[in-house]
Chains A and B, each alone.
Chain A
Amino acid sequence: MRALLGTVLGLPLALMLCGLLAAILPVDWRQWLVLYLLLSVVLWSALITLAALPASHWRTAVWLVAANGVAWIVLQTTGLYGAAA
């Protein structure tokens, strides 16, 4: 169950966390898009592993939902989404 939660909620979280990295780095994300996707896959797998650690399913779900929410909000403060090409 925890692995399932990690699989479903880990994907958007991994992509958003790597997106935040893209927003921080001084290099245009378009120039390392392939690396971004590879990094996201590794992080997604790592999040599935981490999702197994909390004591209950509920804790895993709460942590993942909260982390997704925080990452999404922080992402809105960057100029990443829909920024002019």
Chain B
Amino acid sequence: MKADTLRKHIDLHGWLGMLAGLALFVAFFAGALNMFHEELHHWQEPYVAESDGGEGDLQALLDQVLAVTPEAAKLMYLVPGDDPVALWQDADQEWQFDHASDFNAAGERVKKPRSELAEFINELHYKLALPVVGLYLMGIISVLYGAALIGGLVIHWPKLKKEFFALRHQGNLRRYWKNLHNLVGVISFPFHAIFAITGAAMGCFALLALVAGTLVFGPQLQGAITDATEAWPTPQASGESVAMAGVEAYVAAARAELPDLRVDWIELQQYGDRNAVVDVAGSVPGWIAHHAHVVLAGDDARTLTVTSPGNRPFNHAALSPVYSLHFGDYGGLLVRSLYFVLGLLGCLLFFSGNVMWAERRTDRQGPSRSAIIMLRVTLGVTFGVMAGLAVSCLANKVVSHSPWAGAVAWSEKGAFLAVLLLTLLLALRAAPLAMCRWGLRGCIALYLLVPLVQGGLEGFASWREPHIHLVNTALWAVAASLAAVEWLRVRRLRRAGPHPLWVPAPPAPASEAELASS
């Protein structure tokens, strides 16, 4: 490849990485924690020792929701669990949810304030917790990330083998960050390619459909998309009420079709109507594209259609791995843990990429305001997000066990935002080297502290509960990862001085006399 072309690819890789890097850092860090989303849902609630961990009664929940909110019959999802959840759309098409524990013995809805920590982390992951535009922004960011990956592949392909063993500790600091960036990038390239494509497809789906409908396929596209993505067409209400077969019958009928099915949710449409349709959706273990749907008639639970691995249209077979490869839910705890580790490595990739961009700019153009601002913003956002999420977890536990438990959801988000802004301000003022040192050490301390505070407030016996144990282990794993980075940083600084960008320049001599004296 010509040197000029290679330089253009390096420039593009750097610029795209810099543009998308901070958003991707937030998405990857939140995404790494989100690998334990279900467990986080349990962790965020005050620990109850006497919980038997058994499945809650879905039929009772369905009946209770419909008794107080009849309009929920139009479209509702039931999610099984020890405290099952019903999600339904109100008259304004807004999604509402009820837990089984939100109803008292008399069947009245008694909403109690709940933590939203797991959902907040999920929202940070897929839309930076930004309303309306967040999802589309992350879609575009994913496309830029894909372009940066293609550029990275073009740059590194010819020297792939050499770079694989190139993490050396000689030379200057920039070379070290560069080698670390290349090593992490090369190891985790397939993982990043998966995320760039699936993330862009999910985030930009509406945009892609709009442009393809306008330019390529015309109005026929909408119907084709519905056929390609839905297990069964949306039924229209007939207006004739009939008795329904019930949740137990639906699950039994689904298991009769797919004996290995693990039910993840049940979708009910026009429940109570003659045209009611029930989709028992879940997973068939042993497949990457593991999603399965058994669609049943609501009144007598007769099977309308079954889509499962090896038995579905090509579109459904192509769509299923988009989700499973993105969410890493196809291989149990081992795969989720691998995704968690690769997610944290991704954070290191984006952080080191931004640092390299700033240092490279300084090397090329001399000290520049944009480079130092980029470095400071990178430090502020990365440490702010990490510390913010840890403080959010602390706020969850402290506020849940205080007289202000009703404000737990606000406290989690407020704590995150306050810490993020504070850290960003601090990063813009403090010396970058000091910020890096204290930011890392502060985050390590916070992630070590969260499980201790949880155990202290809820009893250390709670650590034996598998979900709490897993989340606490993940938080300590974050602390251990940051400790490893801190160890590398200290070791590196001991062997060679930092890049000039990290050290504030001494003030210029004010006069010739000062010059002479110096």
Contact = CB atoms under 8 A, between A and B. Distances in A.
B315 A32 contact: yes
Contacts of B207: 11
Given A3-B12, A16-B215, A41-B146, A32 B220 contact: no
Given A6-B147, A7-B144, A33-B224, A49 B216 contact: no
Q: How large is the interface on A (under 10, 10 to 19, 20 to 34, 35 or more residues)?
A: 35 or more
Given A29-B217, A82-B219, A15 B147 contact: no
A7 B15 contact: no
Nearest to B11: A52
A37 B205 contact: yes
B318 interface: yes
A28 B208 CA distance: 19
Contacts of A30: 224, 227-228
Interface residues of B, number: 46
B147 to A, nearest CB: 4
A31 B150 contact: no
Contact of A49 (B147, B227, B229, B314): B147
Interface string A25-68: 00001111111111011101110110011000000000000000
B220 A37 contact: no
A60 to B, nearest CB: 11
A85 interface: yes
Q: Describe B's contact surface by its main secondary structure.
A: helix
B8 A15 contact: no
Contacts of A52: 8-9, 11-12, 151
B12 A41 contact: no
Interface string B192-232: 00001100110011011101100111111001110111000
A12 B211 contact: yes
Contact of B315 (A3, A11, A34, A53): A34
Contacts of A81: 215-218
B315 A7 contact: no
Nearest to A71: B215
Contacts of A22: 216
Given A3-B12, A15-B212, A32 B143 contact: no
A53 B5 contact: yes
A41 B147 contact: no
B124 interface: no
Contact of B211 (A15, A33, A83): A15
B212 A37 contact: yes
Contacts of B418: none
A38 B320 CA distance: 13
A76 B516 CA distance: 77
A23 B328 CA distance: 34
B200 A41 contact: yes
Contact of B204 (A36, A41, A53, A75): A41
Contact of B201 (A11, A37, A46, A53): A37
Contacts, number: 125
A72 B8 CA distance: 29
B140 interface: yes
Given A34-B318, A37-B208, A52-B11, A45 B220 contact: no
Given A3-B147, A12-B211, A31-B315, A45 B196 contact: yes
A75 B229 CA distance: 25
B8 A53 contact: yes
B186 interface: no
A1 to B, nearest CB: 10
B146 A15 contact: no
A31 B212 contact: no
With most chain A CB atoms within 10 A of its CB, the pick from B15, B196, B315 is B315
B154 interface: yes
Nearest to B145: A45
Contacts of B19: 3
Contacts of B315: 31-35
B107 to A, nearest CB: 43
Contacts of A11: 207-208, 211
B319 interface: yes
A70 interface: no
A46 B215 contact: no
A38 B143 contact: no
B313 interface: yes
B218 A45 contact: no
A85 B223 contact: yes
A11 B16 CA distance: 16
Interface of A: 2-3, 6-7, 11-12, 15-16, 18-19, 22, 29-38, 40-42, 44-46, 48-49, 52-53, 72, 75, 80-85
5 contacts: A15-B208, A41-B204, A48-B147, A83-B218, A84-B220
Closest 10 pairs (CB-CB, A-B): A45-B146, A82-B218, A19-B216, A48-B147, A52-B12, A34-B318, A33-B228, A45-B147, A81-B218, A30-B224
Given A41-B197, A44-B146, 15 more contacts: A19-B215, A22-B216, A33-B225, A34-B229, A37-B209, A38-B318, A40-B212, A41-B143, A41-B201, A44-B143, A45-B200, A49-B9, A80-B217, A81-B218, A83-B218
